[in-house]
Amino acid sequence: MTMIIALAGKGGTGKTTMAGLLIKFFLKRDMKPILAVDADANANLNEVLGLNVETTLGAAREGIKDEVPTGMTREIFMEMKVEEALIESEGYDLIVMGRPEGAGCYCHANTLLSRFVERLCDNYRVVVMDNEAGMEHISRLVVRRADILLIISDPTQRGILTARRIRDLARELKVEVGKDYVIINRVNGELPSPLKDAVDAAGLNLAGCVPEDELISQYDTEGRPTAELPDDAKAVKALDTILDEILEIEN
């Protein structure tokens, strides 16, 4: 059965980097094939993975307005465009939502993304979905089901408050979530007591902390895909340990 893991969190927490390292984790454990979904209108998961994007679901949304060939239904045309947007790599595929080129909301593209993931997920062992920052993706129900919801926070009171709000909103909207966990990223040393207290007060399920890793900053500065970090990098080792424990709980 396909395992669907969704990532959420406020902007600037390193959520997309964590998504890339999550894909790296599953590849190392030969849990393939994997579908990586970049559901952020400001897409950059491809950069973390080192892939080029030629088209997105946002572009497909725009194309349906005036490009549908005579004799072809919009549904068939859209399905063709979606297939064109699928980027194949070794052990995993990537689909990017992207930003619509014209004026208007993202509602149609969001609906398309949900339908596409639902249709494709049975073809993959794991689906990793990197969502928009904040709570917008949940209110639009881009994430309809997740075996695991990973909420990424930074070591701040505001990050933990946002994590609680995301958790609460997912439950309020009755999004199908098997388990929700919080991972606090970029922690220097031990997690400060006030933040531990904030996590406890919010009733959050803290999976663990990922330390500040200078290699991530170095890779970002040099324009290198952070998914190519060595296995002994501090962030990679910490996240691997957290994920091993979570998956053991889930299994």
**3-state SS assignment for residue 2:** coil
Longest dimension (CA), the chain: 65
Q: What is the DSSP string of 173-191?
A: TT-EEEEEEEEEEEE-SSP
pLDDT of residue 97: 79
What mean pLDDT is reported for the chain? 86
Is there a cis peptide before residue 33, judged by omega within 30 degrees of 0? yes
Using the structure block, give the residue that is written with the tokens 């958790």. Answer: 167
User: What is the rounded average pLDDT of the residues 116-138?
Assistant: 80
The rounded percent of the chain whose pLDDT value lies above 90 is: 58
Token pair, residue 20, equals 């890339």
Rounded distance between C-alpha atoms, residue 75 and residue 68, angstroms = 10
User: What is the rounded average pLDDT of the residues 52-80?
Assistant: 74
pLDDT band at 131 (very low <50, low <70, confident <90, very high): confident
CATH annotation of 3-250: 3.40.50.300
Looking only at the bridges linking them, the beta strands covering 206-211 and 176-187 are: parallel
Rounded distance between C-alpha atoms, residue 112 and residue 135, angstroms = 19
pLDDT of residue 249: 45
**3-state SS assignment for residue 10:** coil
Give 128's strand partners.
Answer: 5, 36
The residues spanned by each domain of the chain are: 3-250
For residue 194, give the amino acid letter.
P
